[in-house]
């Protein structure tokens, strides 16, 4: 993460002090995007929390089928982000894609509750995740066009906070719905928050149309040359290293579950406790993302990104040699949540700050593809090390990538290509 995110004098831009500034940056458009992330994540997390039981208990599928469905869906989401990036470069397309993507995710996710066979679950999950991947660059580009330049960190911090808070509310809602109605009907209820997300992003899209005059239609192309000229590729190096160590949270849940099976705890009790601890991870991510956004606006994304990677190093070392005390696992899980809250907010702000509006969709698409690809590869390697060598080896491997990311971010500090931001890309 480079210092070209700061003004030429070397000092990071900071917003003027006072409550008036807070009122100006938190507009209806910015709030609507954050609300869309909260509602959407609440909806698909309801289905995600119930999916293992639905697939194995109701449809009599296997754990291998669940892994295949989730792996293919995640891979398709990464490809969809890369494709959706160039589409989001055009203001008219980005608004339609954002609304359609949220609605598609909601309908396909809720429809999983109607599935009568495992393959139907796989198809619907893939449709939902492709819709989610396509909409992500459009949502982030839309948010960039709605937020003030000096408040990008706060805007993206609020959006990430909404996303993480949805990941707390969704599983809790799922637990209540399953106890009340059963497994299959619980999944149907994912449609309600998903539909609210589509309404919220539509409000944001209308707000964007009110503030921005329509321009010439953009060509649909990734434009790597433009991204390189704007200065995005060099600061992507520490991001790529970070994502190679950013493993799926299911690995953290697995490690916690195994460590908690002591003092007479059954596997089911340990699993339930691990899921509750996972909720603390998401809560920490929500809180830290919001305040991390404010930190970014004052100090720049590079140092905040590096801080997130450092928290991951500490968390992974803790998971590597973790004792079985639940309170210790809460701490290391929360550190990982804080790390992702800082890093993801910094990554999004990076793209918004250094790219002009006509390239931001491509930039967010590339970032999304890097996140998906790195997460997939990192999780697979850690899973193999976890099984073949030891859990300690797997987590030390992931921590090494995070440490390398911190070192690279510090090494790149001296390189300062100037941001290429179009004046008319922001609200006046």
Q: What is the pLDDT of residues 103-124, one digit of tens each?
A: 999 999 999 999 999 999 999 9
Looking at residue 99, what is its pLDDT? Answer: 93
Which of 40-49, 339-348, 406-415 has the lowest average pLDDT?
406-415
**Nearest Cα to Cα of residue 176 among 167, 166, 186:** 186
Q: Which of 248-262, 297-311, 351-365 has the highest mean pLDDT?
A: 297-311
Q: Which residues have a Cβ under 8 Å from the Cβ of 194 and sit 6 or more positions away?
A: 39, 40, 43, 44, 102, 103, 105, 106, 107, 109, 110
Average pLDDT of span 351-356: 90
Closest CA to 161 of 141, 143, 175: 143
pLDDT tens track for 144-189: 999 998 999 999 999 999 999 999 999 889 888 888 988 899 999 9
Q: What angle do CA 41, 347, 398 make, to 5 degrees?
A: 85
pLDDT band at 225 (very low <50, low <70, confident <90, very high): confident
Q: Select the highest-mean-pLDDT range: 164-173, 250-259, 379-388.
A: 164-173
Look up the domain containing 19 and give its range: 3-425
Give pLDDT, residue 417: 44
Residue 270 has pLDDT above 70, yes or no: yes
HEC profile of 86-146: HHHCCHHHHHHHHHHHHHHHHHHHHHHHHCCCHHHHHHHHHHHHHHHHHHHHHHHHHHHHH
Which of these, 330, 347, 291, 336, lies nearest to 310 by C-alpha position? 336
- pLDDT for 231: 79
Q: Please report which confidence band the pLDDT of residue 215 belongs to, taking 50, 70 and 90 as the band edges.
A: low
Handedness of CA 135, 136, 139, 141 (dihedral sign): negative
C-alpha angle with apex 68: 64 to 74, nearest 5 degrees? 145
Q: Mean pLDDT over residues 132-136, rounded?
A: 94
Please state, rounded to an integer, the average pLDDT across all residues of the chain: 85
> Which residues lie below 8 Å from residue 312, measured CB to CB, with a gap of 6+?
242, 245, 246, 335, 336, 339, 340, 343, 398, 399, 402
CB 131 within 8 A of CB 99: no
pLDDT band at 305 (very low <50, low <70, confident <90, very high): very high
What pTM was computed for the model? 0.84
Query: Is it the case that residue 418 has pLDDT exceeding 70?
Result: no
What pLDDT, on the 0 to 100 scale, is given for residue 398?
Answer: 94
Indicate the number of domains in the chain.
Answer: 1
Geometric angle at alpha carbon 348, from 345 and 354, rounded to 5°: 130
Report the chain's terminal Cα–Cα distance, integer Å: 28
3-state DSSP assignment of residue 291: helix
The whole-number pLDDT of residue 199 equals 95
The domain that contains 242 carries what CATH number?
A: 1.20.1250.20
Cα–Cα distance for residue pair 291/198, rounded to 1 Å: 26
Name the percent of the chain lying above pLDDT 70. Answer: 88
């Amino acid at each position: 993460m480079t210092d070209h995110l700061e003004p030429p004098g070397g000092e990071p831009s900071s917003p003027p002090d006072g409550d008036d500034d807070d009122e100006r940056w938190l507009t209806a458009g910015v709030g609507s995007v954050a609300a869309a992330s909260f509602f959407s994540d609440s909806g698909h997390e309801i289905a995600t929390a119930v999916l293992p039981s639905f697939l194995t208990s109701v449809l009599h599928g296997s754990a291998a089928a669940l892994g295949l469905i989730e792996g293919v869906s995640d891979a398709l989401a990464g490809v969809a982000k890369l494709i959706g990036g160039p589409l989001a470069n055009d203001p008219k397309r980005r608004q339609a894609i954002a609304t359609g993507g949220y609605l598609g995710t909601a309908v396909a996710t809720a429809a999983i509750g109607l599935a009568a066979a495992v393959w139907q679950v796989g198809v619907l999950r893939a449709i939902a995740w492709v819709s989610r991947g396509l909409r992500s660059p459009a949502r982030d580009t839309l948010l960039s066009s709605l937020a003030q330049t000096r408040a990008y960190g706060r805007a993206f911090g609020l959006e990430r906070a909404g996303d993480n808070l949805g990941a707390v509310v969704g599983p809790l809602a799922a637990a209540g719905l399953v106890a009340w109605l059963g497994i299959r009907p619980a999944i149907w209820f994912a449609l309600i928050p998903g539909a609210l997300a589509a309404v919220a992003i539509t409000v944001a899209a209308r707000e964007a149309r009110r503030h921005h005059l329509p321009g010439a239609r953009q060509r649909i192309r990734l434009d790597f040359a433009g991204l390189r000229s704007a200065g995005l590729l060099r600061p992507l190096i520490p991001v790529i290293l970070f994502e190679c160590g950013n493993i799926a949270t299911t690995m953290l849940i697995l490690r916690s579950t195994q460590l908690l099976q002591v003092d007479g705890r059954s596997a089911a009790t340990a699993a339930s406790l691990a899921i509750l601890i996972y909720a603390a991870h998401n809560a920490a991510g929500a809180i830290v993302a919001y305040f991390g956004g404010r930190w970014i606006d004052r100090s720049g994304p590079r140092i905040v990104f590096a801080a997130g990677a450092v928290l991951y190093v500490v968390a992974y070392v803790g998971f590597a040699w973790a004792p079985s005390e639940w309170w210790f696992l809460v701490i290391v899980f929360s550190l990982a949540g804080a790390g992702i809250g800082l890093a993801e907010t910094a990554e999004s702000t990076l793209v918004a700050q250094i790219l002009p509006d006509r390239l931001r969709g491509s930039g967010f698409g590339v970032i999304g593809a890097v996140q998906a690809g790195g997460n997939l590869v990192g999780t697979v390697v850690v899973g193999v090390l976890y099984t073949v060598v030891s859990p300690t080896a797997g987590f030390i491997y992931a921590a090494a990538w995070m440490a390398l990311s911190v070192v690279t971010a510090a090494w790149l500090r001296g390189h300062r290509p100037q941001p290429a931001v179009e004046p008319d890309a922001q609200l006046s």
